[in-house]
Amino acid sequence: MNTMTDSTPWYRQPLVWMLIMLPATVVVASFITLYLAIRSDDGLVEDDYYQRGKEINRVLDRDHAAQRYGLQAQITVDHAQRKVELRLHATATAFTTPPERLELKLLHATRAGLDQTVNLVRMPDGRYEGVLPALAQGRWYLQLAADDWRLNGELQVPGRSDISLIAR
């Protein structure tokens, strides 16, 4: 009986290291995945979705009020000077006194953590002005709102600097 014995130790066998590396790679990859999951906030899920669902009718009432007033807004965005200028027009006579302040929400299309709010103040000549925060590139949704009405629109950064918001 002739038996061959391999005198090399186990740690010099390539097959052993291949068998050890497969599970070790999975362990390292799972720690990387865990780190990415904790580190990044995708912001895609609303924390209080039920409450937001109940508020939909109230939000729709604000859109209908903007239609009744026949509201239109011309927004000029100056990224270089970080300035927003707005002119508000109404066709209905029920809209007699424009508000002193408006709120312009800049909502990022995919990342809620980037959302911004700009307070617009009415100037003596009737236009509104506000300070524009730095915006990341991409698509942004605009919501111009007062107490009882709201206008919606979109902005592409970088892109055009004149936006029209019309009640629909």
The pTM (predicted TM-score) of the whole model is 0.61
Q: How far apart are CA 118 and CA 104, in angstroms?
A: 5
* Number of continuous H segments (helices) and E segments (strands) in the chain: 3, 8
What type of residue is 57?
Answer: N
pLDDT at 54: 65
- Mean pLDDT, contiguous 10-residue spans, the chain (168 residues): 71 90 95 90 65 65 77 82 83 72 85 83 86 82 82 78 76
pLDDT at 2: 55
- Torsion angle (degrees, nearest 10) of CA 133, 136, 141, 143: -10
- Element at 87 (helix H, strand E): strand 83-90
For residue 69, which of 89, 84, 85, 45 has the smallest C-alpha distance?
89
Residue 111 contacts residue 98 (beta carbons within 8 Å): no
Query: Alpha-carbon torsion 30, 31, 34, 40, what sign?
Result: negative
